[in-house]
Amino acid sequence: METILFPLAEYWWAYLAFTGLVLGLLALDLGVFHRNAHEVTFREAATWSVVWITLALLFNFGLYQYALWKLPQSPRLTSLPGFVPEAAAWQVALEFLTGYVVEKSLAVDNIFVFVVVFSFFAIPAKYQHRVLFYGILGALFFRAVFIALGSVLMQYHAIILIFGAFLIFTGIKMMFTPEKPMNPEDNILLKLFRKVVPVTPFLHGDKFFVKLNKVWAATPLFVALLFLEVTDIIFAVDSVPAIFALTKEPFLVFTSNIFAILGLRSMYFMLAGAVDKFHLLKYGLALVLVFVGLKMVWLNDWFGGKFPISLSLGIIGGIITVSTVLSLLFPKAKDIEPVVQPTARFTD
């Protein structure tokens, strides 16, 4: 079994410190920079995208420096045959970066969903940041749960093979299954929710719930938030095993995943208007899933238990870059009709 460099029992404080840092950044984001609801411009979104990416890279650099300092002091690690602290620290940095790139790339699927959901529920641009903010909070919680479960399940080789086969199947299905227009109204959870909780037919400002005739009712703003949370859980089923295929370190999976999610809102506001231009990225993401699935079921064993992370980063980065460039060089023919028409009509 591969040795864990940052076991939870020893580095529980790092998880708490990182979670505190993230909550602090989110509080600063909502309480200061987005205190008043407003439409996020492309320039603002691009600036915040740079900020989040820079923070992730700075964190990775700090993690590398910490590993250089701390790993040589661990008798548990230095007693292992062939352990080289410098190489281990570099491995940590590359695994974080690769996990971050994969999660950031897979997050493009989330952007497609954001566009459809906000259009379907007729959510004004000035309220979209509020929905995404609380959506990110929910995503942080559910990703933490998924990662905790994954860290336990991935200790069993049979589970690794099952997840690897699942990723391969998902990638192939994504590649060859034609795209279908998504209709949130057909979602089973949404139908069940509306049977239990009254839903107002129209928005009430930035409120998620309002009291009408002495009865609390959800607004379309909350329904949009609920739908986004459900879709994020579905996406996590793919993305979390994909990162575990690149690193067995739960701390690296957790931090790279969270940093990618933190920058998701800015990426949405920056790319939402041009998301259709990257129509071939779907195939690139499918190839990435197939590749990481192959790592889990075959390539790792073929390379003596660990496929080189530097080679993984190069392959994944190359696939994403090529699919993005080809999308711009060979633009998709414009559809005659939009995928979904804006609507916010509900029955109480």
Q: Which residue has the higher pLDDT, 69 or 33?
A: 69
Residue 337 is predicted with a pLDDT of 44
Bridge partners of 211, per DSSP, are 216
Checking if the pLDDT of 113 tops 90, the result is: no
Q: Is the dihedral of CA 103, 237, 40, 17 positive or negative?
A: negative
Q: pTM for this structure?
A: 0.84
Q: What does DSSP assign to residue 215?
A: E
Cβ proximity of 38 and 126 under 8 Å: yes
Q: Say which residue, 120 or 288, is predicted with more confidence.
A: 288
Place of tokens 């309002």: 210
Average pLDDT over residues 165-194: 81
Closest CA to 132 of 297, 283, 266, 281: 266
For helices 250-262 and 125-153, the axis angle rounded to 10 degrees is 170
Q: Residue written as tokens 């590649």? A: 175
Picking from 86, 95, 39, 38, the residue whose alpha carbon sits closest to that of residue 65 is 86
pLDDT > 60? residue 277: yes
pLDDT at residue 339 above 50?
no
Task: State how far Cα 282 lies from the chain centre.
Answer: 15
CA angle 347, 131, 271 (to 5 degrees): 115
| Ranges of H-type helices in 29-124 | 42-70, 75-78, 85-106, 108-120
Both tokens of residue 76? Answer: 């548990």
Other C-beta atoms lying within 10 Å of the C-beta of residue 196: 7
> Which stretch, 8-12, 186-190, 228-232, has highest mean pLDDT?
8-12
* Cα dist from 138 to 145, 226, 268, 305, whole Å: 11, 10, 17, 35
Q: What is the per-residue pLDDT for 348?
A: 42
* Whole-angstrom distance, CA of residue 8 vs CA of residue 101: 24
Q: What pLDDT is recorded for position 209?
A: 92
Which residue has tokens 């979904």?
340
Residue percentage of the chain with pLDDT more than 70:
91
> Can you give the pLDDT at residue 273?
67
Question: Contact, 241 vs 153, CB < 8 A?
Answer: no
Q: Which of helix, strand or coil describes residue 209?
A: strand
Q: Using 50, 70 and 90 to split pLDDT, how confident is the model at 342? A: very low
Helix, strand, or coil (residue 254): helix
Which residue has better confidence, 35 or 298? 298
The whole-number pLDDT of residue 338 equals 45
- At residue 194, the pLDDT reads 82
Cα four-point dihedral sign 307, 313, 317, 320: positive
Calculate helix-pair angle for 125-153, 108-120, nearest 10 degrees.
140
- pLDDT for 320-335, tens place per residue? 999 989 988 988 766 4
Bridge partners (DSSP) of residue 281 are: none
Lowest mean pLDDT among 112-116, 134-138, 254-258: 112-116
Every domain of the chain and the residues it spans: 27-329
